Structure 1
Amino acid sequence: MKNVLSLAGSDPSGGAGIQADLKTFAARGTYGMAALTALTAQNTQGVSGVFAVPADFVAQQLIMIFSDVRVDAVKIGMIVNAQISDRVAQILQEQLIKQPDLQIVLDPVMIAKGGAALLDPLAVESLTQKLLPLATLLTPNLPEAAAILGMPVAENREDMERQGQALLAKGCKAVLMKGGHMAGEQCPDLLLSAEYNLWFEAPRVETPDTHGTGCTLSSALAAELAKGNALPDAVREAKAYLLRAISAAHRLEVGMKDESGRSLGHGPVFHAIDQTIAP
């Protein structure tokens, strides 16, 4: 069994962050580990507080894991600030010298589903200059890609391709531009690398229960890459799993609902869809 490490924040409501990552790793048949970068106070309706773990303690967690456990892939989510980004980049750079085949999926988490900022603006430069060049795969949504590049949010497929190529030029091996923010019945994603220029389509599921979708997709990608899947196959498997999890989100009862039964916030996806037999 492959070992996959999440480096991310904690979501006490269980829909995003390391909780979503660990559920996803297990669902995709891998052994999950987690090094925390932050504690958050949040639920399905929003984030009320963020407590950053000191950068040196984040580094200590990574050192302890790498010194004892074979890590086949790392998923990087909420980084919080430049200090954590700098220390993580330093340790991963050292690990890549020992382990060049280490798969690193970087999900540049910047804003929570409810709109709360999850990344210090000063950390964007560190993430771009130090972490991004280490990534096997970068997985930005359209607002995140625009923020990294200092450009307007992509409005069409041509914009997505242009911005994806600009991100590739910053040093990562591949980019998955997630097009879920575009209007339309389809959610188009674009995989770009020196080898690939591939579009992946998925039908849009009309549901408010999309909390943690970015965390879930990037974790599924890390798990599939850890298992040795080629990038296009990893994307297909991860997107198909996420679609199943979103489509079954209505089976859960997590978060307050209004009188009509509609979620007041953004409920989580059903991570255990492939393991659970429900009526």
Structure 2
Amino acid sequence: MLRPLTATDPRLVGPYHLHNRIGAGGMGIVYLGFADEELPVAVKVPHEAYASDPEFRARFRAEVSAAWHVRASTVAQVINAEVEGPRPWLATEYVPGPTLHAAVLEHGPLLDRHLDNLTLGLAAALEAIHGAAVVHRDLKPANIVMSWTGPKVIDFGVARSAEYTGYTQDGELVGTIAWMSPEQLGGQTATPASDIFAWACCVVFAATGRRPFRGESQEIVALRIGAAEPELAGTPDRLLEPVSRCLAKNPALRPSAGELVGLLTRRLSPPATADHSGRPPTP
């Protein structure tokens, strides 16, 4: 939901005139911006307190580099960026629409073709992300926008190159615990298989309105992710096999994103697999 700018918000970032707030978090604020008569963009601006932090700068440069190399219709595209100036920023394609998290909370679980298109579109997004040698590391419903052209993955704030090992200490958790894989919670480096685990968690949430691992605290959730069987009641039969394989505790047993796309294409109904866009069916 767009919100008005506050008195302390900048009005100009790089070439972009800012019009509204799109969202805000602990690390920064995302604005709706325009450059002359160009299309709108989402401008991510870290809080000033982080601008002089070398570790944060390294993370931000890694985010920009990771996102820049991913080219797919299912991923919000990088438009422009400034990583070396006094106040870094990142401009990406503006994707109107609710997040998967907001859509499910407001309207309930996705059904039929809507669910199939989300499921396949999200797998295709991971195929593109991993194909660019990038690991997202924070795939969750709040980072998936339900646009008219299909689901789009946003926010590479904790993404990294698959070969990158810098800027975090051993055992540091980077991401959101409820959607993390067992190996991430165990302090291991996230791999593409970790994103595949998160894919399954997002699909279960989309299909049922619930996470596959729940608890009264983050600690309990983490324990259940590591040792308990997932709660899959309500997940359609056609998705149970792919979801179960992707939730394997051992990352070596999970399919790759490409294998997952192939599996889903074979299992889902022809009307859904013929259209990966995620557009609502024509009345």
TM-score, normalised relative to structure 1: 0.29
TM-score, normalised relative to structure 2: 0.29
**Higher Rg:** 2
